[in-house]
Amino acid sequence: MFYATILACTLINPNACIEADDTRGPYKTREECVLRVEEMIADSVTLLPAIPHSFRFRCQPKGTPT
């Protein structure tokens, strides 16, 4: 089972980041998790301030330390 997390950082200040954990998962496969990450990023773009952001993600198996 995989859990999705995204990290959105502003390009103006790369230390200004927001972490968002998925509330729908877990997902059986990494591929399903990555599809969910893509949805989360698309939704985040509409919610974040209108400045450029970079995104990183994690699809982490259950029980894996962060």
Residue 65: predicted pLDDT:
54
CB 56 within 8 A of CB 42: no
Q: Which helix (H) or strand (E) holds 38?
A: helix 30-47
Q: pLDDT value at position 16? A: 86
Q: What pLDDT was estimated at residue 63?
A: 67
Which amino acid, residue 66? Answer: T
Alpha helices in 1-66 (DSSP H): 30-47
Whole-angstrom distance, CA of residue 23 vs CA of residue 43: 14
CA distance 39 to 33: 10
**pLDDT tens over the chain, length 66 residues:** 999 999 999 888 888 898 999 999 899 999 999 999 999 999 988 887 788 888 999 999 876 555
The rounded distance, in Å, linking the Cα atoms of 18 and 62 is 22
